[in-house]
Structure 1
Amino acid sequence: MDWLDITNWIWSPDFDDSVKPGQFVLFRKTFTLDKIPDGPVVLRVSADTRYRCCVNTRSVSFGPCKSYTERWFYEEVDISLNLVVGQNVISVQVLRFSPGALGSFSFTASPLPGLIVHCEVAPGLLLSGDSSWKSKTDASRKIVPRSEWNFALGPAFLGLSERVDGRLVDKGWELPDYDDSAWKHAVPSSMKATMLPVLEPWSLNPRPIPMLPEIESTFDTTLVAKGFGQAVEAWNELLRNQKTVELPAGSTFVVEVESKVLTTGFIRLLCSGDAAATINIVCAEAYERDMSTGLPRQKTIRSDYENGTLYGPEDTYTTHPGSNTYEPFWFRTFRYIRLTITTSESPLRIDAFNYRATHYPLVTTTSIEPSSSSGLKEIWDISCNTLRNCMHETYEDCPYYEQNQFVMDTRLMLLFTYNLSRDDRLARKTIDEFASSQLPNGLLQTTFPANTRTTSIPQFSLFWVFMIEDHYQYFNDKRLVKRSLGTIDRILNYFDAVIDHRGLVGRFPGGDVWAFVDWVGQWFRPGGMKNMCIPPTYNKHGAATYNSLIYVIALHSAARICALVGRKDTAAEYTARADNLNQRINEHCYDGMWYLDGPGVRDSPGLQDRSQHSQIFAVLSGAIAGDAAKELILRTFRTPGLARASFPMLFYAFRAAAKAGVYDELFPDLIQPWRQMLEDKLTTCKESDAMHRSDCHGWSATPIYEVIGELMGVTPPDTNATRPRIAPRVKLLENFKGSVVLKSARITVAWNETGILTVESDTDTDVDVVLGGKIENLFLKSGVAATLRI
């Protein structure tokens, strides 16, 4: 019998689910063992909205993995090593976001709260959802309401800051011998009704990705410490050698500590004293200009602690007499942390301050050794660290501000992942999630999973089409392709339905649409978010050239996908649509020199209504080709005054430069923004030059692809090809060595100043090598290097 057939969801009685934004609830279940079971003891657990499960005080599971109600996940863990002879306890802390509140944007909450646990500890000892569980609403821990967010930092997406009063903590509640007699017995949580075909809100599925490790880590150094003599040295002794710092009574102390690179983790503070003290914790990405002057937000040198100020969401902990351990429920993102500690009538001892780093456990199989003088290794490192911090249970636009999974952002992050590792489990989860989000009009939800309907960016759905072709090229999974065809067709038909009288993609219907293209300073307009980041021609003339161009590119991608699986008629239809649309673009949006940002603006003065975007995507769409495309792309990046592509769009600028045959000429200019990030002392790639917000944005990790796919030149076969392609750009680097795994082969490419290129594979492999414009098919015998003269 399936465990779900004999297990009930439970919850705490008299719980008020209307309290906003949410509450913490504690659950306990004790049991006795005469002996430790011989084999694995499998615990299955899930909750709505989030939980941490411990066995005899040791954390065994943190979840559920982010999802949506129609595919809600549960975790399955072996707890045998945590059991003891005698009394045992399973304790679960649950964060429940009220369905009437926004909560945290990427956490889905169903109409019902709930906890489900199943564990057959031993024959005859089954732990399941029933009234033997004890429960209590945690009065000590509160989620800080959005009204208290510092909106100078931007929108309040995450909503996970805490205010915890240690004096109200149920101390020892995770211990087996804790007295829970005053706690209430759990009750069923169910929507089922007699004689009605009603199911629970959650369709449970096993977690599809690994558990995220939590790795013990320490801060690197103390930068600022104010309040008593030798404070910096004392705090460094605490961080490095766990030497207690004692803070005198009746004073306030400010300490700022650093992690050498931006990271994500569960911070933990251990302290002790005889009276209540207040500890305020600010996690920050960077030091920045003081905002109290009323000047706009500005970040320059991120590590300038002598002149900069730390800003960020705040957690507050009030201590209780005795030993205290404070750890926020959700992980934090930080490079710097400021502690402001105010003691009362007794001293406070700080016994430890550290964290457990947590990220998706991606095993990187790619390595590079570029010329030391090129600076590419440093750019590679910050790009990899960016991607690492934007991978948890979903891909995230940024770990600090939002943790949202956007379609456009994620397409890039998936490609970057494929160039580092053969692990596509998180990618598959992402692809399936977006497919499941498809709306009646054919579009995918712009960000998903999400706890509410959000503004729709129609063009983002097209990037899901690219995801499908990308995945096939790297993993050859035709089954995934075939089950995606219906979703692709409905996406494309949405755009076909908005073709206007000029034959262009026209205005998107509906009041919930944002026709976002890119974070471009010239496109910031008054009138709210829906007027921002859009070429002005869209509102003036009912069309933006970019929208037609990106649709053409998606049609070509879909045509290749359909041809791959034998849908030739559909492929021909998509190709015909694309060819016709390119004709209309050239008719209405090209003046012989530039692709205009929309129709009806040929007489715009100067470079107004002209952008790098329209030129980039005209080349990628095939609207222009050959020498004309080459001249256009060179002109695009050598003419000041055009609306400039931001970091995610620079990925497509690199692709256009490669397609037009001018990659080598433009590479120094296109890579310059990442060199500037190093100058500004970033350890991750920032979101945009047009605004000073996120310092870690996954869509900006483009150099990962450039180093492997262009400089090293190793790419998987195109959709309709069979052999990997090796086309190193040997003119851009004096020497280089890199290794990447493509499908079943590890391919190593190296060259140096002697003019010799070596190519090697660890399995017998056919490859195409491109040098000097000539293609040579090579059979690489396992472990035997092929040598070519550059």
Structure 2
Amino acid sequence: MDATLLDTEWIWHPDWEDRGSNTAGRFVHFRKFITLEDVPSSEVKIQITADTKYQLYVNSMLIHTGPVKGDQHLWFYDELDIQPFLKPGRNHIAVRVLRFFHATKWATSFPRLPIPGLFVRTPGGQGLGLQSDGSWQAALDESTKLRIDQREDDFLHLYEDVDASKQRELSWVPAKPLGLPKSHGLAPPWVLSPRMIPFQTGESVGLEAIQNIKTGSSHHLELQGFHHLTAMLQFRFQRPDAAGSSIRITYSESYEDEPRFIPYLRCKGDRTDTSKKLLGPQDQYTFAGHAGAQAASSLAYNADAADAETFAPLHFRTFRFLTLDIDVVPDSDLIMSGLEITTTNYPLNVRGNFSVPSHPEEATYQTAWANSVRTLTNCMYDCYEDCPFYEQLQYAMDVRSSCLFTYAASGDDRMARQAIIQLHNGYRPGVGLLASRGPAHQLQIIPHFSLFWICTVADHFQHAGDATFTRQFLSTCDGILEAFARRIDPALGIVASDAAAVSSFWDFVDWTEEWRPMGIPPAARRTGYQTFTSFLYAYTLRAAAEVLAKLGRPSVAEEYLERAESAVRGTRAYCRVRNVFTDGLASTADHDQDFSQHNQIWAVLSGAVSGAEARDLLAHSILGVSTGTKTSGTFTKPSMAISFYTLRALSMAGGSLYDSAFHEFWNPWRSQLAQNLTTWCEDEQTTMSTQSQSLSQWVTELNDALFIQPNDEIALKAAEEQVDPSLVVKINHNVYTYDQFKPGLQYARSTTTSIQDKFSIILAWENPEKPDGVVAVLSKWRVKDKATGKETEKTNVILWEVKWIDGKRKLTGQTEVEAV
């Protein structure tokens, strides 16, 4: 960090409390007045940042929203030239700061440090007295809550509930310098750095105004964009005479049926099917009327605040559809004068293109290319984001795909460099793994994602050839690979699941329907091994070895190649039935569910098979060519999010496989275009309506959510949303109600861990008139006592009774015969 940055104080409101009820945080307003005889003829630069987000205004003009999200390892500031916005005479500098409370689980997507603060500095000795100090004034926003009450929002908590009538005047006080230590090895907690990526760009995509909303009326409007957007919004109204009217804005990606599990499992089809519902997170604004004009004018966020009342969320919103619900009080008209929508995206200069000029579907491919570019750019804001509507988090596996597409589309590697650094900052030496995502307020570890990060480092070196940049990560790469090496079973030569960390790590592989809700192959839980892990480990070793060889470390590169070959030998010996690879140990494989395309693909990518053997394997598992290598079951298919690796394997296998599979491969994306998507979804389940999910799939998924997967919040949510209060559970001769079932479930989960060995559908009756019915299941599972470690095997036959209630499937009855 530049030591001169320590010369400037951080400031904050003296009466701040970093907590509050029913809100994820609060807003604080800052202002400063400067008087100029003349506007300087040269640049007037300021360096500015805040914890957590800020907006800078100069003379009622919005200059910038920042900073790029950071964390305790790296906190970004912006350097801005405000000279064009200054004027002779009195100038009003205003900063609006959003502070998320530190000691909460809310707003996972937005890291913040234990202390709030605003930092303003004039570099190079420029005057004007703009630096943050006690001459600034501060005021608390008493009108806005950051919503934590929405089922549609599990990650962001930046949707605003504003009651402007609650704050008719602001109490301005001198800002308090924080006086943080700056010597003897001590420093403020923010490790300041200039931003690493360019400023966002945008363009107006305005809609026509709604005129003359009459007295005492309610209006519901559904507005459709040309395509999926990430945009800043401003709703402008003539300031009403009286307070109390309100507007509620719902942000939606699609018209849809009632979700199976809010907010994660949606029931979407044609995105523009107006016979369905628009659902999503909401902002709400209650008007202050003329009584709020003084407070709004003192903020100077809008030059016409005395005559106009404006709602402008601080952070961008993601949507394709907007629902406006406007309620007007009886004693005041409400006149909407404008809705300004300004897109905001990373300034990606797309220089690449894609064309199949001789193919009859060339126009379809061009639309698909446009959707692909739009999906990428809408996921590029502060960092690579998965995804802007739900999480806005930078996940290591997704980053690799995003970086590779960015290189191909534009050659730009600036966000890629930032992503590699930010994820590297999440390294945990104690476990030898990275956080799965970063920056983030809550730590999550998905072991496989650390390997994908190494691949991203290797990809960047191949793209940019920057040895200096790459070398700084080599020790961490080695540490990660060593963490996986420690898990190798010496008798088998393959990577075992880390039993000691099973409760805190998430061994996620892919969002396939068969592996929901946790995205883990059933064989992993049952056998203690994931073939995918050994394949990905070997693949990553080979990628790292190639980089090390070019950086002058041939002996380490050779060691990595030997370790990779050892791992794939183990998979060939212990994870294969005939010529097909199983998801776990072959010796205990369930031939009905333990085969996936994933492991045939990664067998090729890792070097476990090659040449004609690889081509036969892929032809059988992906193209459906019969080779007699597998006698039962089907192959679990990858989600669209990781299908990139399918194409890589087809290409790597050689021959004509890639060309013969290419056009048919894109059928899932053609289906999305037919359903009027303008950006891609990550799996086919989000294109599926409620009725198209089989009852057996629904029961299997609910069983896992309630009893097997390790997250108690997911289980409780499933019990509340997918189990009807009329539930009756019968276990042998005992009968339980819903009110007994729910605490019983919580107690069982708190005292035991359940491992599902088999969940097999015996019989199913599905109602031909609506999507409910009865499913009979044979369940074999193990229950491990958390206190004693004692493990008990159980076998049950369970009858699941499901009814269609209020547009959703609900579990209404369970009859279990439990073998003792």
TM superposition score normalised by structure 2: 0.76
Structure-2 residue corresponding to 1:705:
none
Structure-2 residue corresponding to 1:552:
538
Structure-2 residue corresponding to 1:330:
315
Specify the code of the residue in structure 2 equivalent to 1:488: C
The offset of 1:23, in angstroms, is 0.5
Structure-2 residue corresponding to 1:652:
645
The offset of 1:364, in angstroms, is 1.1
Structure-1 residue corresponding to 2:327:
342
Structure-2 residue corresponding to 1:203:
191
Q: 1:603 to 1:112 in 2, by over 3 A?
A: closer
The offset of 1:167, in angstroms, is 2.2
Query: Is the contact made by 1:537 and 1:609 (CA closer than 8 Å) also made in structure 2?
Result: yes
Q: Matches of residues 570-589 of structure 1 in structure 2 within 5 Å?
A: 570-589=556-575
1:138 aligns with 2:141: yes
Match of 1:664 among 652, 659, 662: 659
Structure-2 residue corresponding to 1:72:
75
The offset of 1:69, in angstroms, is 2.0
Structure-1 residue corresponding to 2:804:
none
Determine helix, strand or coil for the equivalent of 1:427: helix
Q: Matches of residues 159-558 of structure 1 in structure 2 within 5 Å?
A: 159-168=157-166, 182-192=171-181, 197-219=185-207, 239=208, 242=209, 245-272=211-238, 273-275=240-242, 276-290=244-258, 297-305=266-274, 307-322=275-290, 323-345=308-330, 346-371=332-357, 373-374=361-362, 375-440=364-429, 441-454=431-444, 456-500=445-489, 501-508=491-498, 509-510=500-501, 511-524=503-516, 532-558=518-544
Specify the code of the residue in structure 2 equivalent to 1:462: L
TM-superposition CA deviations, 1:7-50 (whole Å, max 9, x none) = 10000011111225211000001010011112110111111111
Gaps of 5+ in 1: 172-179, 220-238, 695-790
In structure 2, distance between residues paired with 1:277 and 1:331: 24
In structure 2, distance between residues paired with 1:573 and 1:199: 42
Gaps of 5+ in 2: 291-307, 625-632, 690-820
TM-superposition CA deviations, 1:586-638 (whole Å, max 9, x none) = 00011223101111446634x42110011000011111111111011011123
In structure 2, distance between residues paired with 1:271 and 1:141: 19
Determine helix, strand or coil for the equivalent of 1:366: coil
In structure 2, distance between residues paired with 1:38 and 1:523: 63
Specify the code of the residue in structure 2 equivalent to 1:664: D
Match of 2:31 among 28, 42, 66: 28
Query: Is the contact made by 1:23 and 1:143 (CA closer than 8 Å) also made in structure 2?
Result: yes
The offset of 1:479, in angstroms, is 1.5
Specify the code of the residue in structure 2 equivalent to 1:300: G
In structure 1, distance between residues paired with 2:126 and 2:622: 71
Structure-2 residue corresponding to 1:125:
128
Structure-1 residue corresponding to 2:599:
614
Q: 1:512 to 1:692 in 2, by over 3 A?
A: farther
Specify the code of the residue in structure 2 equivalent to 1:284: S
Query: Is the contact made by 1:121 and 1:127 (CA closer than 8 Å) also made in structure 2?
Result: no
Specify the code of the residue in structure 2 equivalent to 1:503: G
In structure 1, distance between residues paired with 2:189 and 2:687: 40
Query: Is the contact made by 1:191 and 1:199 (CA closer than 8 Å) also made in structure 2?
Result: yes
Query: Is the contact made by 1:253 and 1:342 (CA closer than 8 Å) also made in structure 2?
Result: yes
Specify the code of the residue in structure 1 equivalent to 2:450: S
Is 535-544 or 548-557 further displaced after alignment?
535-544
The offset of 1:294, in angstroms, is 11
Q: Matches of residues 680-699 of structure 1 in structure 2 within 5 Å?
A: 680-691=675-686
Q: 1:603 to 1:263 in 2, by over 3 A?
A: closer
Determine helix, strand or coil for the equivalent of 1:74: strand
TM-superposition CA deviations, 1:108-163 (whole Å, max 9, x none) = 11110000111379965332222111001111221012xx112xx4x601111110
Specify the code of the residue in structure 2 equivalent to 1:264: T
Query: Is the contact made by 2:576 and 2:586 (CA closer than 8 Å) also made in structure 1?
Result: no
1:45 aligns with 2:48: yes
TM-superposition CA deviations, 1:645-694 (whole Å, max 9, x none) = 11122110111111112101111232111111101110000121235699
Structure-1 residue corresponding to 2:96:
93
Determine helix, strand or coil for the equivalent of 1:215: coil
Structure-2 residue corresponding to 1:784:
none
Q: 1:548 to 1:290 in 2, by over 3 A?
A: closer
Structure-2 residue corresponding to 1:18:
19
The offset of 1:424, in angstroms, is 1.1
Is 86-95 or 17-26 further displaced after alignment?
17-26
In structure 1, distance between residues paired with 2:38 and 2:361: 63
Query: Is the contact made by 1:37 and 1:121 (CA closer than 8 Å) also made in structure 2?
Result: no
In structure 1, distance between residues paired with 2:6 and 2:642: 50
Query: Is the contact made by 2:223 and 2:323 (CA closer than 8 Å) also made in structure 1?
Result: yes
TM-superposition CA deviations, 1:748-777 (whole Å, max 9, x none) = xxxxxxxxxxxxxxxxxxxxxxxxxxxxxx
Q: 1:470 to 1:124 in 2, by over 3 A?
A: closer
The offset of 1:88, in angstroms, is 0.5
In structure 2, distance between residues paired with 1:542 and 1:210: 46
Q: 1:354 to 1:496 in 2, by over 3 A?
A: same
The offset of 1:292, in angstroms, is 11
Query: Is the contact made by 1:541 and 1:600 (CA closer than 8 Å) also made in structure 2?
Result: no
1:677 aligns with 2:644: no
Q: Matches of residues 711-726 of structure 1 in structure 2 within 5 Å?
A: none
Specify the code of the residue in structure 2 equivalent to 1:215: E
Q: Matches of residues 585-600 of structure 1 in structure 2 within 5 Å?
A: 585-600=571-586
Identity of aligned residues (%): 35
Match of 1:112 among 107, 110, 115: 115
Specify the code of the residue in structure 2 equivalent to 1:316: Q
TM superposition score normalised by structure 1: 0.79
In structure 1, distance between residues paired with 2:493 and 2:53: 48
Specify the code of the residue in structure 1 equivalent to 2:406: T
TM-superposition CA deviations, 1:690-736 (whole Å, max 9, x none) = 35699xxxxxxxxxxxxxxxxxxxxxxxxxxxxxxxxxxxxxxxxxx
In structure 1, distance between residues paired with 2:534 and 2:125: 63
Structure-1 residue corresponding to 2:10:
9
Specify the code of the residue in structure 1 equivalent to 2:432: G
In structure 2, distance between residues paired with 1:666 and 1:683: 24
Query: Is the contact made by 2:222 and 2:324 (CA closer than 8 Å) also made in structure 1?
Result: yes
